[in-house]
Structure 1
Amino acid sequence: MKSSEELMLLLELNGFDTRKFKLKKQLEYEKTGNLELYKHKKYADLIVCHYTFNEDADFYHRNPLTYQVNWNQEVRSMDQFHITHPDLDNEITLKEFLNLKDFNQVNRESILYDVLDNWVEEYRESSITQMENLREMVKLLPKKSKKYKKPSKITFLTSVILALLIMLLYKAPDSLKPSFLIGMLSFWETIIDDYVQLLYDVPWYSFLGNVAIFLMIGYAVLNNFISRYIRDVRSEKNKRAEQTFDKWEQDMKDSRLKQAGILEDYVDIVVKNPDKSELELKQLIGPSILLDKFKDYVQMIEKRYDWMTKYYKTMFRLLRLEYVLAFVVFILFFAVGFALIRGWI
């Protein structure tokens, strides 16, 4: 048992709310294929269930609907799995059962439906609970927090405007000399011309201007990235996210219905022709594939949120440093230029 698990177990036993940690660990434990996990509401029961589960290579005693592509290559058909039933004396494989001569067609069909219904119901209950857990995990993310604010839009716009100002000196200096100022502020036109001339005459000064542009644009990009990152993490709790989960649940229902249809067709075939008992497991794992896809998405959101909370202060320190440095270089660019124009340097 990991130290973090021991700590959370102690916290739960002392009355602390450990729901979020429990849900995250359950998502992690479910990768073992343990279908008993969904039955436990408390973390103490969950962790006992996980560590007492024997994750061996005997896949033939598991629920075939939980099939994963990383299982042994020899596991490929549903008739390879072992089944039990009150009407059977021993545990046998599904293929062996279908080849028994002790049952007529009606009894064979009844037993087969009982076995398949148990597998389907077990997986259905498990998948429904897993979907509910995924929804709750996203709900536990704080939608808004005074602690985690987005970067300032004012500094973003300021950096863009200041970078644009220097770029216009390079590419379109005439745009900085509007017609309504001509004659009124003639010295402004002279200053612009002097700065432009410096860019041509003094290479290192031109380089300083490029550095100022780079830093300002770099700040704007970093500001926008952090803002979008925080916004995206927050948006996972909005109404759209709820609609997404509703759609996922409907997709799961549709996939389970398709799975049930395949199993019904299978029963119709093998009851009449027991020799045709092979059914590739890959045809039955539509719900499992969907569920794994949803889990990956929620885990991605969790990781993004955890990353944000862990590095929030660091990100903003870098952002402030970038802005201060960019602003200092911007001021330095015009101050040095003015000094060169005046002949002070």
Structure 2
Amino acid sequence: MSEKIVFLDASTIGPGVTVGRPDFAHEWQEYDRTAAEEVVSRLSDATICISNKVAITPDMLKQLPQLKIIAVAATGYNIVDLEACKSQGVAVCNIRGYAVNTVPEHTFSLILALRRNLIEYREQVLDGEWVRTGQFCFFNRPIRDLAGSNLGIIGAGALGQSVGRIGLAFGMKVMYLNQHIRTAPDHGQLVSLEQMRDEADILTLHCPLTRETQNIIDADFLAGMKESALVINTGRGGLVDEEALAQALKQGQIAGAGIDVTEVEPAPIDSPMMQVAGLPNVLLTPHVAWASVGGMQTLVDQLIGNIEAFVAGKPRNLLT
């Protein structure tokens, strides 16, 4: 029997990446993007759905009795309701371990640029400030080393631990939040949320977005952090209360933020993060931490492998 595969948002895979085809009889249809009101019609005869960021709601599922599996083209799976899928007999799989290089590298790109105030120094050089000082260097913004600083990591999976190992190589003290951990890391210290708030010089998030982690970084948390601390989020936008973070940045409660994910994407012009994106101590990137060419190729290869394994009766990376 031939399977019908529909990729709802193929444009989320960038250039330079080859998306192979499964090694079984199938019909393949892909769309660059899909609006919510188009989902049901486009999946009307599909047995396999691929989606990166297009949500599949319980109401949609009820109208898609032929659907067998939703292959999420990402690690985060908040686009689907797992309980609804399970009750309807729809399998869900995701991508795992593909971004262990690209996300940590992007994370430290943000950290280094902010910790050493590279953005503002570059702007001042272009504005002629260096020439006007009349000396070989000028230092009107703090430059802080990573060595000896406290790196707080929320999320101790493959990505969080990869970030932690890089932190150790920089000579940082690594701390992991002692909540929602399946397997304790082989390095670093497990600490409470309160201790992480009080001690972290750099806080970075690498956990899934769930009911428990929604807005885990809120106004109270930010108010208790060091004024010299940085917040880095390459996980999911909903992990951080964006309005609270924007206010903390405006009021100087923390030293800066590196953000690659927002609650609504793309971030609206009037959103909290866009309102502070122009500050010299803020780096806002458009959800690209995962998107190195190597990372994306690994992702799509695993995606097709997940689908082939399911059809062969040997499913992997299942969430339901």
Structure with greater Cα Rg: 1
TM-score range, shorter chain: under 0.3
The answer to which structure has the higher strand fraction is 2
Higher relative contact order (CA closer than 8 Å, sequence separation 6+):
1
- Normalising by structure 1, what TM-score? 0.22
